[in-house]
Amino acid sequence: MTQLETAMAILMKTFDTYAGTDAKKDTLSKTEAKTLLEKELPGLIKAAKNQGEVDKLLKGLDMDGDSEVDFTEFVILVVTLTCACHGRCKK
């Protein structure tokens, strides 16, 4: 597989790993999303000044307001963070 194909496979596997811990296998509950962020993006969580910021981030992930994070919402988070990091690295 190419590097991009590998990156895509890792995104899918990561989402499925955390989404698979409760009854709904195709979405992340708030608890699953928080666990994913804590384990896969620990620097982001540590950079948050307080728990309220983390909760705000989790709420912002749920763009359609259904109290769950689907794969599209998850990918948007990853893309947004990647763009932010890429902009920082260019400077």
Per-residue burial over 21-36, b if 16 or more Cβ lie within 10 Å, else e, is: eeeeeebbbeebbbeb
- What would the two tokens of residue 69 be? 């994070």
C-alpha 38/C-alpha 41 separation (Å) is 6
pLDDT at 36: 93
C-alpha 51/C-alpha 4 separation (Å) is 34
Q: CATH for 3-90? A: 1.10.238.10
Q: Which residue has the tokens 């990918």?
A: 75
Which residue has better confidence, 21 or 87?
Answer: 21
How many other C-beta atoms can be found within 10 angstroms of the C-beta atom of residue 19?
22
pLDDT digits (tens, 9 = 90+) for 3-40: 999 999 999 999 999 998 887 899 999 889 889 988 99
